[in-house]
Structure 1
């Protein structure tokens, strides 16, 4: 086996800058904190939200890949992360709104080390940031959890997908796994400060691949459109009961 050693991507960064850096690496403490956090989240989702999952067979066996879904609640990222296991769980990074999760040092520490989130700043995501995210996805074999609508719905309806998802994967072999979450808006809509108990259902669809799509804006828009269609179709199937006979809890901790 050939070892390839390189300096940590965040080597030399001050502590505060490391929290908000797209080059942040978790370190031993971060790995331990995140493992504990994952256990607590899975317990919480089972106890308070009776989470049921369909389509686990569609998850790739190893990273890199991208999980996407409709976005109605802060429960969404927790729900998607809870079904990952092994290297996929350890390498998962939620792309979170910088203004919400990295605005203060305390919240940024939780976002960085418990949730393993990367900040995305609305309205000022630079090409360099997209290039960094795209490179890390493949080079570090990460799993990105993101919501192409760009923000949580305020009325429960899904908005159009933004082309940023295409900028991450167009022209690569990285699969995108479409998902749909039901029940999160009722349990924790943006208007509520804290969640309330309520059933969650997650449907996972077959992976999409865009290796033949050109990595430019027209290609990004095409990727976003295909992803949106896949998520909407999953939602339609879930509401019609197509998945009704295959619901089961997530795999064991």
Structure 2
């Protein structure tokens, strides 16, 4: 076997710039810290929220892939990341709002090294940024966790999906796995400082393939629509 070495993508960056960069790599210290964080989060979700996962068999055997879900709570990303196992758990990055989680060095450090988040700036993420994320997702065989609504629902009802998910996956071979998390809004709605105990149930659906979808605005809208339909199909039926 011929070994090939390449420098880390973030080698030339300062420590502060690295925190907010899409090129950030985890490194040995980050793996140790994030491993401890994952174990703590799993214990918390098991004890306080009795997290139940349905449909785990729908997850691809190996990365790369994208996990998408409804978004109504800070528990959403924690729950999706916590249910991953093996290499996928160590290669998972949550795409988080830069103007919420990366506003200071302290919050950036927590988001980067504990949650393993990459920033997405709501009003200034460029096509170049999205292309860089798309390239890295495939080349480094990562798992991206993202919420196509773009922000947390204040009511708990799922909103419309934005076309940014399409710009990330349209015309590519990376599958998208739809999920629906039930109970997160009741446990930790936007505006509440700390979560309260309450059951969580995560449903995972079959992967979606967008390799034949055009990588243009029409294709991005199609991706958003199909993703939204797949996530809504996993939601519990409305009470009579």
TM-score w.r.t. the length of structure 1 is 0.93
Alignment partner, residue 218 of structure 2: 218
- Structure 1 segments unaligned to the other structure (5+ residues): 242-253
- SS where residue 118 of structure 2 aligns? strand
Name the CA distance, whole Å, in 1 between partners of 2:144 and 2:111. Answer: 14
Alignment partner, residue 164 of structure 1: 164
Alignment partner, residue 173 of structure 1: 173
Which string of whole-angstrom CA distances, capped at 9 and with x for unpartnered residues, describes residues 46-76 of structure 1?
A: 0000111100000011000000000000000
Alignment partner, residue 182 of structure 1: 182
Which string of whole-angstrom CA distances, capped at 9 and with x for unpartnered residues, describes residues 150-197 of structure 1?
A: 000011111100000011111111000000000000000002011000
Which string of whole-angstrom CA distances, capped at 9 and with x for unpartnered residues, describes residues 73-128 of structure 1?
A: 00000000111111100000000000111111111111101111000011111111
Name the CA distance, whole Å, in 1 between partners of 2:152 and 2:238. Answer: 24
Name the CA distance, whole Å, in 2 between partners of 1:73 and 1:202. Answer: 13
Alignment partner, residue 5 of structure 1: 5
What's the offset of the Cα at 1:19? 0.2
1:77-156 matches, within 5 Å, as: 77-156=77-156
Alignment partner, residue 48 of structure 1: 48
- SS where residue 181 of structure 1 aligns? strand
Which string of whole-angstrom CA distances, capped at 9 and with x for unpartnered residues, describes residues 119-159 of structure 1?
A: 00111111111011000000000000000000000111111
Counting matched residue pairs gives 239
Cα-Cα RMSD: 1.1
TM-score w.r.t. the length of structure 2 is 0.98
- Structure 2 segments unaligned to the other structure (5+ residues): none
What's the offset of the Cα at 1:239? 3.2
What's the offset of the Cα at 1:212? 0.3
Name the CA distance, whole Å, in 2 between partners of 1:219 and 1:57. Answer: 28
- SS where residue 237 of structure 2 aligns? helix
- SS where residue 215 of structure 1 aligns? coil
- SS where residue 77 of structure 2 aligns? helix
Name the CA distance, whole Å, in 1 between partners of 2:146 and 2:52. Answer: 20
Name the CA distance, whole Å, in 1 between partners of 2:220 and 2:232. Answer: 18
- SS where residue 78 of structure 1 aligns? helix
What's the offset of the Cα at 1:3? 1.8
What's the offset of the Cα at 1:240? 6.9
Name the CA distance, whole Å, in 1 between partners of 2:20 and 2:73. Answer: 22
Name the CA distance, whole Å, in 2 between partners of 1:206 and 1:3. Answer: 35
Alignment partner, residue 39 of structure 2: 39
What's the offset of the Cα at 1:2? 2.7
